[in-house]
Amino acid sequence: MSRLLETIASGTDIYDLAQPLAAETPHSPNHPPFRMSLMRRHGDMVREDGSSSANELLVTGGHTGTHVDALAHVSYEGRLHGGVYAEEAQRGGRFSTLGVDALEPMVCRGVLLDVAGLHGVDVLPGGYGITEEDFEAASEKVAVEVRPGDVALVRSGWARNFGDAEAFLGHETGVPGPTEGAARWLAEKGVRATGGETIAYEQIKPTVAHRLLPVHRLLLVERGIHIIEVMNLTELAADWVYEFAFVLAPLNITGGTGSPVRPLAVVER
């Protein structure tokens, strides 16, 4: 413990990898938007000593904004990861197994696979399919190996479109993301989770939207690997940070299929 505290005290840089949550945050049509309303404003009730307080009501989906997918999020032919029957697991209005409450906080090694940087562009084209060859080349370029237990973060540059909901959703243009082959490459490396900058961690072709999500099926159902979406990896790439301590803790939502998160990358200064 003393060594850990000494390292922290000597200086670390912390990168916030989350996008802001606001009414204008882009969201999938499959999930409700984020909304916040002040329920009590300062002055509504003033205490005898002159103080007052304010509070708010939050309404959001578990998969809106920067979030992590629980293994209960996707099923295939009626079954969740490990062969669990989805119909049985979701009885009672929440998941009795494989919910986000079963996901322990992550403090582990993280790596950045900067595919946009590999190709010398700020943003990959809409609909671009990131391949296993892209991952291999991005890893070799910066001499950072993906290892078992890592969290692998994939930069497409799509975070630059976050301020334009239509562009970010990319219905007409498509959205860049990993192909099944690329996801299988990560699974074979033994990653515990992987994340990206888009709403759906997939190659989304123009006008196809989210009708087919084969990477979600492969990672969540077949391999038990969590997915983190709507991240902001711009600053990591700008500072050439490709290896770091990764920290993520979901909300302890009993039986939920996902949770908003604020992932962090920590590097020694």
**207 found inside a domain:** yes
What pLDDT is attached to residue 11? 84
* pLDDT tens digits, one per residue of 143-192: 999 999 999 999 999 999 999 999 999 999 999 999 999 999 999 999 99
Domain count, the chain: 1
Residue 236, in any domain of the structure: yes
In a domain? residue 6:
no
Give the pLDDT confidence score for residue 1 in this predicted structure: 57
Residue-range definition of the domain harbouring residue 119: 13-19+63-268
Q: Is 246 within the bounds of a domain?
A: yes
Answer whether residue 216 is part of any domain: yes
How far is 178 from 203, CA to CA, in rounded Å? 5
Residue 51 resides in a domain: no
The answer as to whether 74 is a domain residue is yes
CATH of the domain at 121: 3.50.30.50
CB 17 within 8 A of CB 247: no
Across the chain, mean pLDDT equals 96
Distance CA 156, CA 119 (A): 10
pLDDT digits (tens, 9 = 90+) for 95-121: 999 999 999 999 999 999 999 999 999
- Residue 194 is assigned to a structural domain of this protein: yes
| CB 166, CB 24: distance < 8 Å | no
CA–CA gap between residue 234 and residue 236 (Å, rounded): 6
Taking the C-alpha atoms of residue 141 and residue 96, their distance in angstroms, rounded to an integer, is 44
Asked if 176 contacts 128 with a C-beta cutoff of 8 angstroms, the reply is: yes
| Banded model confidence at residue 2, pLDDT cuts 50, 70, 90 | low
Give the separation between CA 71 and CA 251, rounded to whole angstroms.
Answer: 15
Strands 258-260 and 67-69: antiparallel
pLDDT digits (tens, 9 = 90+) for 46-90: 999 999 999 999 999 999 999 999 999 999 999 999 999 999 999
